[in-house]
Structure 1
Amino acid sequence: MELQEPTPEALQRKLYFLLEQLQDMARELPPKYQMRVPIELLSGLANCLLNDTIFEIVKGLMEIQHVTEKHLFQQRLQVINKHTLEIQKMINNTTDPQQQDLQKALLLSRHKEEMKQTDMKLIMQLDQKVSDQQVTLEKAGVPGFFVTNKPIEIKVQMYLLDFILRLSKMDVPHSVC
């Protein structure tokens, strides 16, 4: 069976539906974010979502992010486990309670610093993932996406991603009606 091109009327209906849904979602945002999501941005986003490719890109990015987060969490757990084993080994190898307390204090101090370094490294990797996502969506032509590290702009982009994901789960009017 050959896929038919949607009629201009069907595309228009889909565009109006998407725009209406996006406006409803934007109205639910806290006021400080509502003003950062003007009608022009929503209209551009609705137009961009006429092509289902953007939905697929966002779903793919979300899957990659979940895998990355799981991997980073596992790395963090490995460090915690290593620390627990080091303390247990020290306790098993040290009989003098005063010596044990001193060594434990030194280990805990070192572990705290090592955990801080690990967490900073993991956060940098997450920040890089955010940047990669911004580049991908900007290259795909999704309005509102550009590389930034400003928290308020990232939050707006997170809201836009949420809108796209919510729309991807809706029964959007398609093609020939």
Structure 2
Amino acid sequence: MANFDDQESVRRNRQQTHYAMLSELTRLAREVPASFQQRLPYSTLSAIASSLLDGTVFEIVKHLYEIQQMTERKLMEQRAQLVNTHKVMKQEQQRKHRSELENCQSKPHNIPLVKHTNDKEKEALDKRIEYEINQMDERILLELDQRCTEQQTTLEKAGVHGFYCTSNPQEVKLQMYVLKFILKLSSMDFGSANAVT
């Protein structure tokens, strides 16, 4: 009989935790734009709350969030490093061009040719810099898209309702809202039932 009482207590705790999470998800869903609220009906929020009951999804989302933060930080550092390299290249070119102009002060007839050559070199460097920045930005976007796909796949496999691989901006935005909800819920205390599996 004690075993039945324990099972009943566990069931009640899970049910209370589910209800508390569902209530909080409902409140959070009211904060998103109306177009997304319509896509988060009670049944969807209830399915999300159910997937959170054993705490595994919280851990997965926290881990994915940490990976996302590290990836973004690494990419920002790489881009900043490239921008700094370009800045140094431009400064060196400007010094070289000033020096070349100073060297031809004794031969004023060469000044227009040196200025023209300097302008062409500056234009070539500007194009190179623009190309390299565009290439870096494309690589960053591809890597972030890859992280997004990995997150979608992981959360789909974990059974989180609404997660699947998509590049549709509206679907991705909805998934981002759900991730924010999960992160907020992960920091809340839903009592001892959080530990129940």
Instruction: Give the 5 Å matches for 1:19-38.
Output: 19-38=22-41
Aligned counterparts of 1:8 and 1:86: Cα–Cα separation in 2: 67
Cα deviation digits, residues 75-131 of structure 1 (max 9, x gap): 111211121121122222232361333322221122112211110111010000000
Identity of aligned residues (%): 41
Name whichever structure is richer in helix by fraction. 2
Report whether the alignment pairs 1:162 with 2:176.
no
Cα deviation digits, residues 130-153 of structure 1 (max 9, x gap): 000001101111111000000000
Q: Report what 2:107 is aligned to.
A: none
Aligned counterparts of 2:93 and 2:10: Cα–Cα separation in 1: 74
How many residues are matched?
173
After TM superposition, the score normalised by the length of structure 1 is 0.92
Counterpart amino acid of residue 22 in structure 1 = L
Q: Report what 2:70 is aligned to.
A: 67
Q: Report what 2:147 is aligned to.
A: 129
The CA deviation at 1:50 is 0.6
Aligned counterparts of 1:136 and 1:167: Cα–Cα separation in 2: 19
SS in 1 for 2:177: helix
SS in 1 for 2:165: coil
After TM superposition, the score normalised by the length of structure 2 is 0.83
Q: Report what 1:16 is aligned to.
A: 19
Q: Report what 2:55 is aligned to.
A: 52
Unaligned runs of 5+ in 2: 1-5, 102-113
Unaligned runs of 5+ in 1: none
Q: Report what 1:118 is aligned to.
A: 136
